Amino acid sequence: MVDSTERLPMVRVTETGRETTVDVVVTEFPLTIVLNERPVVTLLCSPANLDYLAVGFLFSEGLLRGEEDIREIAVDQEAGTVLVKTKKAILPSSKRLVASGGGRGAPFAPLNKQAKVDSSLEIKTSEVFALMDDFIRRSAVFRATGGVHSAALCDRGGVLVFNEDIGRHNAIDKVFGQCMLQGIQTAGHLVVTSGRVSSEILLKVARRNAPLLISKSAPTTMGVMMAGELGMTLVGFARAGKANIYTNEWRVLDGR
Amino acid sequence: MVDSTERLPMVRVTETGRETTVDVVVTEFPLTIVLNERPVVTLLCSPANLDYLAVGFLFSEGLLRGEEDIREIAVDQEAGTVLVKTKKAILPSSKRLVASGGGRGAPFAPLNKQAKVDSSLEIKTSEVFALMDDFIRRSAVFRATGGVHSAALCDRGGVLVFNEDIGRHNAIDKVFGQCMLQGIQTAGHLVVTSGRVSSEILLKVARRNAPLLISKSAPTTMGVMMAGELGMTLVGFARAGKANIYTNEWRVLDGR
């Protein structure tokens, strides 16, 4: 288990004075992902589950189509690298979209190529609230430091896969990377995130055919628009007992 | 004045039922920055002050040394572009660092080339708390939508320049871009941000020679380490009445 936090000395000041103490600070780790001996990107991330992150990132960027493309994965925690080799040659383009407060974009997977998410999944409001309870309870690093995002793959009954990272994009990539490596189905399931839902986040979830995305935070206009166009249900500001449904509300049913 | 939010229909659910209503959602706008007729990047941002964002971004990336490099700036809000022309030819490399939850990195300005920030600026704790009060009061879009970040350049007396954006990197780039275009000095001043302080954010502020960075949120380990190495004072979790000082605490004085 890699530690995603460090204890650092710190001075706490208030209106009445100061005291020297120790704070738990979230680790920022530079990870270089190398695809077929070519460095693709350096991500700043939390240093746990680097293989999940690498695989999830490469999938989000359209550089892997699935687990079946992967020949070999080698994580070197010391060097800060994950080396991924594919069965067939894949050449990353150097063009990329870079985005606000998170953004890496999905230049290889534009919206006009993304198929609608076709799923008859429905969930009760009481199940949404129970999921959020469970999700928030698991966010241990966040509680300690106030500095990380969480993401989870869920079904109606609860959390199936859970990951944390200082980046909201990374947290979701880790979830989907883990699903790919462990053969866990994402189609027809729910995704929960602590972070804002921008167009990029929405697109990541659409690419895994998960029809329902629930966030503790706000969506953006492009996130809402895309969710509508792709047939997805987007829920924001979800907490125990309250949530906003922006698109395709039919998937969320009244009652317990 | 460009509107950085839109009103969208939404269904609010609680444990007792649902109601159709309208929510204020923060706008996500794709901006392409073109430097000397070559597209450098597409940022997802809030659609206000695009000239500030373009100039601040190019400076952060090391593609502008200062206002004196700029020959012409043309904002086309409809097309979603800012065209910047420089007096001398500048050729952007295509290499870039891409980062967690925000990250665009500063591939042209690595830490080992960044000089220490030399400033004898000091501030009283009561002034820090008053600044945070002022800063939080100004964050109007955040209050409406829960979805944007703010950043400000300040002196001990108050806020000098204030900007908001869906991205915490963009908000700081807008502040520094405005300073460059309006000839406002940043050296020896304070920067306040609503967002997490990662290494990239720290480096942006160091490049403008501002010795004191105050955040409402958490720092990362690399943010703290860099602040120490560059002689900067890093304050986190600052609210009215409480703050954590991670480095160079001598700049923050007890008393009113």
Interchain CB distance below 8 Å, B43 and A169: no
C-alpha A14: how far from chain center: 36
Count contacts between A and B (CB, < 8 Å).
230
Interchain CB distance below 8 Å, B129 and A45: no
Does B252 touch chain A if contact means CB atoms closer than 8 Å?
Answer: yes
Contact call for residues A221 and A242 (beta carbons, < 8 A):
no
Nearest chain A residue to B21, by CA: A244
* pLDDT tops 70 at residue A93: no
Residues 6+ apart with CB under 8 A from A39: A32, A33
Residues 6+ apart with CB under 8 A from B16: none
Contact call for residues B13 and A243 (beta carbons, < 8 A):
yes
**CA-wise closest residue to A134 among A239, A217, A235, A205:** A239
Interchain CB distance below 8 Å, A100 and B43: yes
Does B56 touch chain A if contact means CB atoms closer than 8 Å?
Answer: no
Contact call for residues A3 and A25 (beta carbons, < 8 A):
no
Does B142 touch chain A if contact means CB atoms closer than 8 Å?
Answer: no
- Region A51-74 average pLDDT: 94
% of chain A exceeding 70 in pLDDT = 90
Mapped onto helix, strand or coil, the DSSP state of residue A182 is helix
Contact call for residues A99 and A196 (beta carbons, < 8 A):
no
Q: Which of A104, A236, A254 sits opposite B17 (nearest CB)?
A: A254
The tokens for A95 are 């063009």
What Å distances lie between residue A67 and A38, A39, A185, CA to CA? 19, 20, 12
Give the confidence band of A239 by pLDDT, cuts at 50, 70, 90.
confident
Task: Tell me the chain A residues in contact with residue B100 when contact means C-beta distances shorter than 8 Å.
Answer: 28, 43-46, 102, 165-167, 169-170
- Region B153-170 average pLDDT: 95
Task: Tell me the chain B residues in contact with residue A226 when contact means C-beta distances shorter than 8 Å.
Answer: none
Residues 6+ apart with CB under 8 A from B248: B211, B227, B228, B231, B232, B233, B234
* pLDDT tops 80 at residue A144: no
Nearest chain A residue to B197, by CA: A147
Residue with tokens 């008393």: B255
The amino acid that residue A66 corresponds to is G
Interchain CB distance below 8 Å, A217 and B147: yes
Residues 6+ apart with CB under 8 A from A111: A199, A203, A226, A229
Nearest chain B residue to A172, by CA: B101
Give the confidence band of B256 by pLDDT, cuts at 50, 70, 90.
low
Nearest chain B residue to A142, by CA: B218
% of chain B exceeding 70 in pLDDT = 90
C-alpha B45: how far from chain center: 12
Nearest chain A residue to B216, by CA: A146
Give the confidence band of A63 by pLDDT, cuts at 50, 70, 90.
very high
If one compares B78 and B100, the residue with the highest pLDDT of the two is: B78
What's the CA angle centered on A190, arms A184 and A195, to 5 degrees?
A: 110
Interchain CB distance below 8 Å, B18 and A249: yes
- Region A171-198 average pLDDT: 96
* pLDDT tops 60 at residue A226: yes
pLDDT, position B92: 63
Residues 6+ apart with CB under 8 A from B232: B117, B202, B205, B206, B210, B211, B212, B213, B226, B247, B248
Nearest chain A residue to B198, by CA: A28
Q: Which of A220, A241, A249 sits opposite B25 (nearest CB)?
A: A220
pLDDT, position A240: 79
What is the radius of gyration, based on Cα positions, of chain A?
19
Does A116 touch chain B if contact means CB atoms closer than 8 Å?
Answer: no
Give the confidence band of A163 by pLDDT, cuts at 50, 70, 90.
very high
Does B12 touch chain A if contact means CB atoms closer than 8 Å?
Answer: yes
Does A200 touch chain B if contact means CB atoms closer than 8 Å?
Answer: yes
**CA-wise closest residue to A164 among A80, A56, A47, A54:** A47
Average pLDDT, chain B: 89
Does B128 touch chain A if contact means CB atoms closer than 8 Å?
Answer: yes
pLDDT, position B9: 95
Interchain CB distance below 8 Å, A44 and B222: yes
What span, in angstroms and rounded, lies between the C-alpha atoms of A10 and A22? 5
The tokens for A72 are 């070999």
pLDDT, position B26: 93
Does A168 touch chain B if contact means CB atoms closer than 8 Å?
Answer: yes
pLDDT, position A256: 66
* pLDDT tops 60 at residue A224: yes
For residue range B98-120, what is the model confidence (pLDDT) as tens digits?
A: 433 444 433 434 555 788 999 99
Does A77 touch chain B if contact means CB atoms closer than 8 Å?
Answer: no
In chain B, the N- to C-terminal Cα span, in Å, equals 38
Which one of B95, B220, B229, B250 would you mutate to disrupt binding with A, by most A Cβ within 10 Å of its Cβ?
B220
Does A17 touch chain B if contact means CB atoms closer than 8 Å?
Answer: yes
In chain A, the N- to C-terminal Cα span, in Å, equals 38
The amino acid that residue B213 corresponds to is L
